[in-house]
Amino acid sequence: MQTTEKISDNEIRYLGLEAIKKELGIAGFVRFMQLFDNGSGDYSKERSLQQEEFTVAEIVEEIGNKTNG
């Protein structure tokens, strides 16, 4: 096995994917790859905009409703 300090990030990625493919087989490798989605957009900005419509009091009340049954 090579020391990781001397190989590029692309080589690390390649070797990692090869190891996964060897361990899981082709079908398992494909399933593994399907678990990863880079998504799109700006999650932090979108989440912030979604939360603007709620006050702290409303959030606390909703939490209380869920914990009290």
Q: How far is CA 43 from CA 8, 12, 30, 51, 63, in A?
A: 29, 28, 26, 12, 23
| pTM given for the model | 0.47
Radius of gyration of the CA atoms of the chain, in A: 22
Q: What is the pLDDT of residues 2-49, one digit of tens each?
A: 677 789 999 999 999 999 999 999 999 999 998 887 778 888 888 888
CB-based burial label for 15 (10 Å; 0-12, 13-18, 19+) = middle
